Amino acid sequence: MKPEYYQKIWAKVLAANEETKYEFTISGKYIRFVLIVWGVISAFLLLAMGLGIITFLIAYFYYNFYLRRANIYAFTNKRVLIHKGWLSTSLKSIDYDKITDLSVDQGFFERTFYKTGSITINTAGTGLPEVILRHIDQPYEIKKQLEKIKVNSKNRR
């Protein structure tokens, strides 16, 4: 996905003195792995029932197009932005001063096969995880980026 698509989304929500510092989406490695699995399933269905091509096209659209456009994240100089959806959309915004803790989870399958993980962002005032960003490339590096941007935003006040 090209950054121009991100620009269109963020242009709608960024404040006048706000700029994106880091943008990302679901891991390409995760998407490729899942498409290979669906390719195998589709080949079996093609041989067994003739439904393989349709199955693969649906999986390809969902994983290669929809997921990348429906899960876009940005760290700005003021907050975290989580854009979900494609035809119907929602936007969640978390100010850095509301973030209480961050955690990274990498299950065996995620870490071994497609080298991704999840980042959980907890906020003040709730016991439930506020946001979980799933299937993210280099989750520990992205967590470090978020912590660095969060500290820099606090120092500017």
Kindly list the domain boundaries of the chain, sorted by start residue: 3-155
pTM of the model: 0.83
Q: Tell me the two tokens of residue 62.
A: 């969902």
Pairing of strands 116-123, 71-76: unpaired
Q: What pLDDT does residue 155 have?
A: 73
Following CA atoms 8, 122, 108, 37 in sequence, which dihedral angle do they give, to the nearest 10 degrees?
-30
Under CATH, which architecture does the 3-155 domain have?
A: Roll (2.30)
d(CA 115, CA 51): 31
37 token code pair: 């699995």
Name the residue type at position 99. Answer: I
Give, for all 157 residues of the chain, the pLDDT tens digit: 456 778 888 988 999 999 999 999 999 898 888 888 888 888 877 777 777 788 888 888 888 888 888 899 999 999 999 999 988 889 999 999 999 899 999 999 899 988 899 999 998 876 666 789 999 999 999 999 999 999 888 777 6
